[in-house]
Structure 1
């Protein structure tokens, strides 16, 4: 028999650092699921990733207060910051440039994100990642 779905909850949780404090506790507690159980399972699933990198997670909560969850790849901006070793993007991206990203680095990010993007070709993903890099105040170098 198929379980009846109550709701979906989408969060971004740091890899390996899930704990019952906000935003996880309030988001899941209002649906009556075991928050510590989610935190333990999420941390186990993400312990092979770099600690602290934000991981999008979609939690399916069922009527009987059980849950399942799916993790996605980190956001493009987080991958760019990780590859370039920067803390944040530019405050005024049109006026100040904070660094340079190469096409090879962009292709690496596209290959990582390709898992989540069903039906999108790699070239359109590369174009999208370039746009994100530019909006962060980076210069794209061939």
Structure 2
């Protein structure tokens, strides 16, 4: 069955899993007229198992002010920083190195990101993650 409701807007939000901020949601979704409290409770409920992660979600808002919520995987840079235990990337990527990512760590991050990437080839996903790591000043060994 296809959804025949008319889409008025889609908004991508990026919030902490299991504890979305009403203030941030209000800023992003306030002008749309959607029930923010309902979006928050649905987001928190569906991301409760990922507490501590930053989880992007696409909120599709329909003409009747109802919504659909599609969760995505955490950003690649967030996963790399968490894996290495660093706060941020290098000030001068390509010159400064803030950490090293092993092939096993690279594979683990690529497997987690695979559903959101435009490939289903793990090797291509690993190259994509490695490119993000290099742009952050992280060496892949």
TM tier, smaller: over 0.9
Contact 2:133 / 2:140 at 8 angstroms: preserved in 1?
yes
Give the aligned CA root-mean-square deviation in angstroms: 1.4
Match of 1:89 in 2: 89
Deviations 1:106-135 (A, max 9, x none): 000111011222544111111111111111
Q: Are 2:59 and 1:43 equivalent residues in the alignment?
A: no
- TM-score, structure 2 normalization: 0.92
Contact 2:119 / 2:125 at 8 angstroms: preserved in 1?
no
Within 5 Å, give how 1:96-107 maps onto structure 2.
Answer: 96-107=96-107
Q: Are 2:20 and 1:18 equivalent residues in the alignment?
A: yes
Q: Are 2:101 and 1:111 equivalent residues in the alignment?
A: no
Contact 1:16 / 1:44 at 8 angstroms: preserved in 2?
yes
SS at match of 1:139: strand
Match of 2:56 in 1: 56
Deviations 1:81-109 (A, max 9, x none): 11111111111112211111101100001
Q: Indicate the larger mover: 129-138 or 110-119.
A: 110-119
- TM-score, structure 1 normalization: 0.91
Match of 1:135 in 2: 135
Aligned length: 139
Deviation at 1:13, TM superposition (A): 1.3
Q: Which runs of 4+ in 1 moved over 4 A?
A: none
